[in-house]
Chains A and B, each alone.
Chain A
Amino acid sequence: MNMLEDFKNLWVYIEAVDGRAKSVGLELLNPGRRLADINKEKLIAVVIGDDACNVAKTAIAYGADEVILVEGDEYKEYSTDGYVNVLDKLVEKYKPSTLLIGATNNGRDVAPRLACRIKTGLTADCTGLDIDEESGNVAWTRPAFGGNLMATILCPNTRPQIGTVRPGVFKKIEPDFSREAKISRERINTPKEGIRTKLIECIKETSGEIVNLEEAEIIVSGGRGLGKAENFSLIRELADVLGATVGSSRAAVDAGWISHMHQVGQTGKTVQPKVYVACGISGAIQHLAGMNSADTIIAINKDEDAPIFDVADYGIVGNLFEVLPVLIEEIKKIKIIKV
């Protein structure tokens, strides 16, 4: 029987795609460092892939004390079975006290399966991380009830304590690529028949635009006020000059103007950008639930009483077809937005 005190060190799982670290894993090394220091633990990055040595080195640059690296052909693409197998074997061998996982789709796929295999507690989609002073447990804070309530969760009796953490909440530290640290290579096989899902195809948006709303620093969203699909070109143009990602309200998705991948809100995505620009979006509570934790919200709407203005830091009351072209023109003059 393992005792709680047998479990040591804080792990951050660094999700890698095509040999590159996803941003959220590197972000988590920042709060990971703070929590590890409080409990006098090491901060260890865990990397899985087929050729992921560079990801391991990146994790060191962003602050990891050590990296555990598992490579194999079977890990070229993410699979639930393969990745859970690796993490489970690693946890069994090394016994970490805490595991932080980015709340990406794959992160939220792997984490519950792993937690259930280990029979430990998992807290989803955290936006706050701390150490509970009395017990030394990680205090996981997360929104619930559509963001109406925050809950702080502890996992006092089982180890490791696992949480998925929302992208964009924590900031990456300045990387130092001259840092050196140990990389431990572990060989863990997952037999072919043990991987029950097969990735056949990846379908990118036909327009070729990138729609990673969860990691976007600036989002420009369009809603019902656009009137028709073609008018999303105005949103795209503003997004282009701002270096932003295009989002939308549910109304625009349901009208068939843009794909669901862009939808922000209760039945779409929850986003945490630095700047969120809502154009022609009235601000139904379902939409607000997905974006009200943006650092700065800018709204453009012709209806002065639209609820979007209740959460907007800055709002222009006006017809978006008149406002947006002028805004695009003026921003082009300034060119660079600092984020």
Chain B
Amino acid sequence: MGVEQKLANMGVVTTTLESVINWSRTGSMWPMLFGLACCAIEMMSAQASSFDMSRFGMELMRPSPRQSDLMIVAGRVSKKMGPVLRRLYDQMPEPKWVIAMGDCASCGGVFNNYAIFQGVDEVVPVDVYVAGCPPRPEALIHGALTLHEKVRGTKLTAPAAK
């Protein structure tokens, strides 16, 4: 057989650096605890025992942006909250991703008024939008898995992982 078979018999696996890095990034993507409104309840539910996001290595909601990889914006972002959100995003270490959870974070939802950002993508770059008002935990988990798929397709040579 070929060299791969021989190496496998010796307990060695050959792969690309890119796929190993992307695999490790999806394997322990720690979300930041950032609930803003009712979507946060569904986010907690997705964390808790009946849905259990720790199946996908996301068991730790970090209270500090410096320890987290993923920002789940759960709820509507008011104009006054915008600078805070941006600051937290800037404090997260690279690589970082953002999920806009729910209609309000995605496009303003029912709040088309003076006080609410019409989508959090006006403040931070968003990777995955999850629809629903609020989305069920399954939908959030689907959004997270969609993000994992995106991360697995990331090229190391690309200038930025966006």
Q: Do A and B form a real pair?
A: no
B: which residues have CB within 8 A of A? none
A: which residues have CB within 8 A of B? none
